[in-house]
Structure 1
Amino acid sequence: MTADKSADEGVRLQKVLAGAGVASRRVAEEMIVAGRVRVNGTVVTELGSRIHPDVDLVDVDGVAVQLDQSKRYVMLNKPTGVVSTMRDDRGRPDLREFTRDWPERLFNVGRLDAETSGLLVLTNDGALAQVLAHPSYGVTKVYIAKVTGQVTAQTIGRLTRGVQLEDGPITADKARLLDHSRGTSLVELTLHSGRNRIVRRMMAAVGHPVLELVRRRFGPLQLGTLPAGRARELTRVERGALLTLSRREPEESTPPGADQETS
């Protein structure tokens, strides 16, 4: 943040907040005076403060504010049979058909394999995409897996204690049995690993191969009732939560084999 108050040294903070849709300029001024606004991690309480929206990072009550309005953030409920790429060189259905409503060139944050459906983030914010897809940030994902056989409490315990795979051990952050009937079970798994086809490999390792798999949550975002094959822009609250997550410090250790996000 710059302390110079001349017009050529940035834009008034309250004007930036109003322009970002946080609040009216008057309410934004009250937020600043109350110490609820930070610029680059430092609380700012002076109404004359100016910032450079293209480089400074602003948050209100600890939630990041999107200042660059050219950035687009979209949630897609990826259907099965679609590969997580913008152009597939093998001619398979790809993500292009879901980005036609937006003029920006969007790309996906991480991947889901072709037979996995569910929440996928599309954006033109390359910095955010790189951060959130990197395993060192340990973004939490929640999956619902329909698997063969009747999953027992003992199997759920194995998933949360750890399963040995060919590329090293893996532990579910959380696991619970949702339902079972007619020789199949529904299992909810919470993971922060991005290892290749990790959910399918975990369930196969405990004797319950996956029949269907959907990702319901990615970090702070929830799929909700968005139908398969539909996409929508994130709300301001969702964008703030996603940007806040992307600005946190990465975890010190990286799980072995966590070089991509596919499930």
Structure 2
Amino acid sequence: MSDASTGSTTGGAGSASEEGVRLQKVLANRGVASRRVAEQMIVEGRVRVNGLVVTELGRRIHPETDLVDVDGTAIQLDESKRYVILNKPTGVVSSMSDDRGRPDLRRYTKDWDERLYNVGRLDADTSGLLVLTNDGDLAHVLAHPSFGVTKVYIAKVEGQVLPQTIQRLLKGVELEDGRIAADKARLLDASRGESLVELTLHSGKNRIVRRMMAEVGHPVVELVRRQFGPLHLGTLPVGKARELTTVERGALLTLSRRDGDAPVE
């Protein structure tokens, strides 16, 4: 009997055949688990290929084209794809070249042979988390505002931010290109005539945090992006870049596969 829930092998991409590589070998090679543990994962029904649960140890796949996830987390099989996180300093433009001669992102990609590109942008006067990759499909999902990927910013602003101002940010403010509301907003600190505000947004509009805070009477003094989707800046120093960990790559690819066909209205 052939059934999708038990790993049907009747045709389609990734169907079992004498071609391809055994699934447990692929999982072991990608550092998911040892071959024996990977086999146990398959038998327990924890592994899916192209969205279908596989429980047969003889299953072969094509790492170049098939999509695999374990316990709902995507596994990177295409070793040609590179994913890098950068803590962009202020004064650097979000571009691989700048016709005005300003510092750009090329200096942070020298350690990788692949041609990496930035996912979205941060203003030159904004620091923080920027993703660099050669994965165009993932970059599209992360950067396009219709997919609703959230970003978390910490803004140092002028003046004492009051609770009613936070509520106004949550309810929405009218800007020249339409009404915008923060997904989350909270006051972190206030002293010496300045306040620290944390804003979570899924909007991709240009200079949105600066414009929102100016609209409520608190111009931004400093701005840093601390989070982008499932990625956190953590303790990465300003001006440093590193490859994503296996866990981070899994979270990012899972987000891409889940949202790639379902844009947010």
SS of aligned partner of 2:112:
coil
Instruction: State the partner residue of 2:225.
Output: 215
Instruction: State the partner residue of 2:189.
Output: 179
1:68-217 equivalent positions in 2, closer than 5 A: 68-217=78-227
Bigger relative contact order, structure 1 or 2, given CA contacts below 8 A and separation 6+? Answer: 1
SS of aligned partner of 2:226:
strand
The separation in 2 between residues aligned to 1:72 and 1:178, in whole angstroms, is 35
The separation in 2 between residues aligned to 1:46 and 1:252, in whole angstroms, is 36
Structure 1 residue 71, shift from structure 2 partner: 1.1
Could you list the structure 1 runs, at least 4 aligned residues long, displaced by more than 3 angstroms after superposition.
Answer: 1-4
Unaligned runs of 5+ in 1: 254-263
Instruction: State the partner residue of 2:4.
Output: none
Instruction: State the partner residue of 2:263.
Output: 251
Instruction: State the partner residue of 1:5.
Output: 17
The separation in 2 between residues aligned to 1:130 and 1:252, in whole angstroms, is 14
1:24 equivalent in alignment to 2:34: yes
Instruction: State the partner residue of 1:52.
Output: 62
The separation in 2 between residues aligned to 1:23 and 1:119, in whole angstroms, is 30
Residues 151 and 201 in structure 2, CA contact (< 8 A), matched pair in contact too: yes
The separation in 2 between residues aligned to 1:115 and 1:248, in whole angstroms, is 33
Give the TM-score taking structure 2 as reference length: 0.93
Output one character per residue of 1:55-74: Cα deviation in whole Å (capped at 9) or x when no partner.
11000000000001111111
Structure 1 residue 248, shift from structure 2 partner: 1.1
Instruction: State the partner residue of 1:35.
Output: 45
Structure 1 residue 4, shift from structure 2 partner: 3.4
**Identity in percent:** 79
The separation in 2 between residues aligned to 1:122 and 1:5, in whole angstroms, is 36
Structure 1 residue 89, shift from structure 2 partner: 1.1
User: What is the number of residues matched between the two proteins?
Assistant: 251
The separation in 1 between residues aligned to 2:81 and 2:15, in whole angstroms, is 27
The separation in 2 between residues aligned to 1:16 and 1:75, in whole angstroms, is 26
Residues 82 and 134 in structure 2, CA contact (< 8 A), matched pair in contact too: yes
The AA in structure 2 aligned to 1:2 is G
Q: 1:5 to 1:252 in 2, by over 3 A?
A: same
Residues 84 and 243 in structure 2, CA contact (< 8 A), matched pair in contact too: yes
The separation in 2 between residues aligned to 1:30 and 1:14, in whole angstroms, is 9
Structure 1 residue 2, shift from structure 2 partner: 3.5
Q: Give me the CA root mean square deviation.
A: 0.9
Output one character per residue of 1:186-226: Cα deviation in whole Å (capped at 9) or x when no partner.
00000011111100000001000101000000000000111
